[in-house]
Amino acid sequence: MIRYVLAGLVVFAVAAITMAPAGIVDRLVNQSGTAELTHSRGSLWRGQADLLVENNHLGQVQWDFNVGSLFKLRPTYQWTLTQSSWALAGAAGTGFSEAEFNVSGEVDAQAVNQWLAAYDITISGTFNILPTEVLLPHNATLPRAFTGQINWTGGLVRYTLSGLRSEASLPPLVAYLDLNNDNEPQATVFAQNDQTPLLIASVGSNGFAKVGISKRFTQLLNNPWPGSDPDHHIVVQVEEKIF
């Protein structure tokens, strides 16, 4: 009996999703305050729209509902996000206790530079995001799981230090994404085929993001840190409140 009830609920949900206009997605996303969907087309089942975050156009997002996810009680959408500077794809779903999000794809440095401009930093090259997964409990600020990897092709980096404009050519880098010992999401960056950490970035539950730079990284940036500290030692660390 129960299975027939569940099957009926699934059929009803599928029908509702198929017929509901994509404009409903607009209203749900726009309630976030930072993200906005415009020019939506299609339905909740399958549609597309333009995505804006803090008034920055991030490209066209397309979604496709995974019917089988209803039987797992975790409604999930497959999605893609494309723009001239990137092509991303993944899945997003939610269950009773947590939401799940995964992503992979390529991002051109030009897209990253618009966020780095505030810090007087510009880079070149391409980022390859390998399958990366985030599990976020409802009503939580930090994920309970965070795994993935980002490869950067390397290239020219320009930055301002003590009022002076500098530049350096960096080798290909790899960022490993995971939770640290405090269960905070963290990215640890290495040069390819090298075990010396160059940069460690994390986000805490207090809303502060921390970025630490090792002595070895200052050498690659053509501004070597003085002293006898080992290459892996963090010699510069900055913090900024992001939420």
- Give the tokens for residue 71: 């039987």
CB atoms within 10 A of CB 9: 11
Q: What pLDDT is stored for residue 51 in this prediction?
A: 84
DSSP classification of residue 183: S
Q: What pLDDT is stored for residue 220 in this prediction?
A: 96
Q: What is the dihedral of CA 104, 204, 163, 220, to 10 degrees?
A: -50
Q: What pLDDT is stored for residue 53 in this prediction?
A: 76
| Whether the predicted pLDDT of 234 surpasses 90 | yes
- Which range (30-34, 49-53, 120-124, 235-239) has the least confidence? 30-34
Q: What pLDDT is stored for residue 25 in this prediction?
A: 47
Phi then psi dihedrals of residue 23, to 5 deg: -60, -25
- Which range (68-72, 98-102, 209-213, 229-233) has the least confidence? 68-72
Most confidently modeled range among 16-25, 67-76, 107-116, 150-159: 150-159
- Mean pLDDT of the region 99-106: 94
In the chain, pLDDT over 70 holds for what percent of residues? 86
- The residue with greater pLDDT, 77 or 175, is 175
- Sketch the domain layout of the chain as residue ranges: 1-60, 84-241
Rg (CA), the chain: 21
- Mean pLDDT of the region 167-185: 96
Question: Given pLDDT bands bounded at 50, 70 and 90, which one contains residue 202?
Answer: very high
| Whether the predicted pLDDT of 184 surpasses 90 | yes
Question: Given pLDDT bands bounded at 50, 70 and 90, which one contains residue 95?
Answer: confident
- Give the tokens for residue 114: 């618009």
Q: What pLDDT is stored for residue 34 in this prediction?
A: 59
Backbone region of residue 54 per phi and psi (left: phi > 0; alpha: psi in -120 to 50; beta: other values): left
